[in-house]
Amino acid sequence: MHGLIGKMRAVEGRRDELIAILLEGVAGMPGCLSYVVAKDPADADAIWITEVWDSEESHKASLALPSVKDAISRGRPLIAGFDSHVVTEPVGGHGLTASAAP
Amino acid sequence: MHGLIGKMRAVEGRRDELIAILLEGVAGMPGCLSYVVAKDPADADAIWITEVWDSEESHKASLALPSVKDAISRGRPLIAGFDSHVVTEPVGGHGLTASAAP
């Protein structure tokens, strides 16, 4: 499995708008086992995204899905920057669920 | 929802053993919506744990479950330390699944 833990910074005051776009693109991504979007309660502009994919290839392929490309293009103007980005190797747990086909 | 993103350091060479204990305790925790254990591919002793709970109270209550207390007592000697610990406020995504009762 392939995992990502990232902290993203929204343009001031636009976090909720950016989160809504991030969540729209989430359904039906082949190979996506978990994708959680969270607010940082200690930082009004920060968003945490934690992802688990069956493989790195599935994650890369997702970036070419029309729904994801559309979300990226709408979300990009609302992103002020990325604070951290960690690649992980998930080994198990609870809540790892194959996504239904779109 | 209540989320946690933590980086734990295993005693040198004991990471796989610690991961096995962490994964054993995962099933049947009431209110647990996601619990993912991952290796850090860049750091041979590091483990990432990402959790989503329906509430902070459910997370606190889980620490009193016999299975979790047992895992904590067996895992503790294998933990060298905690590198980071972030509380998040998950708002949605894919793979958030109520755990079956034990």
Which tens digit of pLDDT belongs to each residue from B41-83? 999 999 999 999 999 999 999 999 999 999 999 999 999 999 9
Q: Count how many residues are written for chain A.
A: 102
Chains A–B, number of C-beta pairs less than 8 Å apart: 127
Query: Taking the model in full, what pTM does it have?
Result: 0.93
Q: Max Cα separation, chain A?
A: 36
- Does the structure show a pLDDT above 80 at B102? no
* Residue burial A8-28, b: 16+ Cβ < 10 Å; e: rest: bbbeeeebeebbbbbbebbee
| Structure confidence at residue A64 (pLDDT) | 93
pLDDT band at A99 (very low <50, low <70, confident <90, very high): low
B33 vs A37, A95, A99: nearest CB: A95
Q: Which of A83, A90, A37 is closest to B88 using CA atoms?
A: A37
The answer regarding whether domain A2-90 maps to CATH 3.40.30.10 reads no
Site from B87, B88, B89, B96 to mutate, A interface, most A CB atoms within 10 angstroms: B88
Please report, for chain B, the start and end positions of each structural domain, with discontinuous segments joined by +: 2-90
Report d(CA A8, CA A45) in Å as an integer.
Answer: 8
CA pair distance B39, B20, nearest whole angstrom: 12
Contact between A7 and A40 under an 8 Å Cβ cutoff? The reply is yes
CA distance B97 to A44: 27
Which residues of chain B does A35 touch, with a Cβ-Cβ cutoff of 8 Å? 93-95
